[in-house]
Amino acid sequence: MTIDSWALVALAAALLVAPGAAVTRLRLAALARRSRRRLSGSRLIPATAAATSAGLVAVLGAWVIALPVAVAAWFGARRLLRPPQPRADPLRLATSWDLLAACLRAGLPVPAAVGVIADRVPGDGGKALRTTAGLLALGADGSDAWRPALGVPATAPLARSARRTARSGTELATVAAALATDVRVSANDIAEARAQRAGVLIAGPLGLCFLPAFVCLGIVPVVAGLAGDLGLGG
């Protein structure tokens, strides 16, 4: 033992034999009891840690489920409240282009054929085609007559091809038939892509349903076991 240690021992002995030794002994006994309480209380730390860990995992598991659901609900509400954008039915457009090709091959003039299909195209596309038919009937140049239809996405492909073919009904009939085929192929591709996306979206909720079971059966026992092992080791 060092000199400092011997000095401390001597000081303690002096205090014990001093006149106030009784008070000092009582204080030392109280300190010893407190130390024993602390040691006994430390044995409860592993159990407390295990319970706390289990509670935290349970709470975090609930948040893992609630947070994606809340985000999905927020985006879903925004999408539902957003005003719908009118879009032309692609299959209806394809039928209109087939009808235009049939009218032109039957010998109908281009202005009359365009006027016939204008009533079948909904929204701005139909209005643009009616304007184009009127301009063609008045003898306007093809580039100027098809300009209104060029500004509408539904009729823009037909307008671009029609401006190149000028007033030739035969060439425009061929273009309209090819355009109808392209529209149908594109619609089929979009439908297949949506079907595949639906399969992916369906798998998401199923994963969320199995997540609580995974947390309760896979994570909580592991955390509790580790906490118990640490307590036994201590």
Residue pLDDT, tens place only, 88-100: 677 888 888 899 9
- Average pLDDT estimate for 188-212: 77
Residue pLDDT, tens place only, 94-141: 888 899 999 999 988 888 999 999 888 878 888 999 999 999 888 888
**Gap between the Cα atoms of 174 and 104, Å rounded:** 9
Q: What percent of the chain has pLDDT over 70?
A: 59
| pLDDT for residue 61 | 52
| pLDDT for residue 219 | 81
Choice between 166 and 153, residue whose per-residue pLDDT is larger: 153
What is the average pLDDT value for the chain, to the nearest integer? Answer: 70
Predicted TM-score (pTM) of the model is 0.50
| pLDDT for residue 131 | 92
**Is it the case that residue 221 has pLDDT exceeding 60?**
yes
| pLDDT for residue 222 | 81
Q: How many CB atoms lie within 10 A of CB 45?
A: 13
- Average pLDDT estimate for 212-231: 77
| pLDDT for residue 217 | 80
HSE-CB of 219 using CA atoms within 13 angstroms? 15
DSSP letters, 128-183, are: HHHHHHHHHHTT--HHHHTHHHHTSTTTHHHHHHHHHHTT-HHHHHHHHHHHHHHH
Model confidence band, residue 169 (pLDDT cutoffs 50, 70, 90): confident
| pLDDT for residue 30 | 54
Choice among 9-13, 78-82, 181-185 with the minimum mean pLDDT: 9-13
| pLDDT for residue 208 | 73
Residue pLDDT, tens place only, 21-69: 444 455 545 555 555 555 444 444 444 444 444 454 445 555 545 455 4
CB distance 219 to 57 below 8 Å: yes
